[in-house]
Amino acid sequence: MNKLKGKIALVTGASRGIGRSIALHLAQAGALVVVHYSKRKEEAESVVDQIKQDGGAAFTISADLSTFNGINKLYSMMDQSLQKYIGDTTFDILVNNAGIGQILTLEESTEESFDEVMNINVKAPFFIIQKALPRLKD
């Protein structure tokens, strides 16, 4: 199946779970997949290996999405890699999948733990989309 042949997809949080599954399906449909991860390098590389074994194309990018600098790093690294792969920095599909959860009671929660969840689950998707706009193809 090549419905997405020639398309480029960025999947955040693609090293495991739903993100992994989405990355694999996009690659099976023909997309070049950017597999983002924060801490699980081996798992992200496993996703890329699986995609390549199945005849697809993918590469990994590591970035901490809890900070604005991390989001800038994501796009800086992605721009460099896409320039190398396709001679351009635009892409077609953004899957804002990265997210975290914490199992804490209300009493155990701290400002730091709250901010970490909000930064990854709310703030990061907003700025990832904002930074994607000039790069996304129509």
> pLDDT by residue (tens digit) across 51-73?
999 999 999 999 999 999 999 99
The predicted structure's pLDDT at residue 2 = 87
Q: Where do the domains of the chain lie, and which CATH numbers do they carry? A: 8-132 (3.40.50.720)
Tens digit of each residue's pLDDT (9 = 90 or more) over 87-101: 999 999 999 999 988
- Per-residue burial over 52-91, b if 16 or more Cβ lie within 10 Å, else e, is eeeebebbbbbbebbeeebbebbbebbeebbeeeeeeeeb
The predicted structure's pLDDT at residue 92 = 94
Q: What does pTM read for this prediction?
A: 0.91
- Residue 32 pLDDT > 90: yes
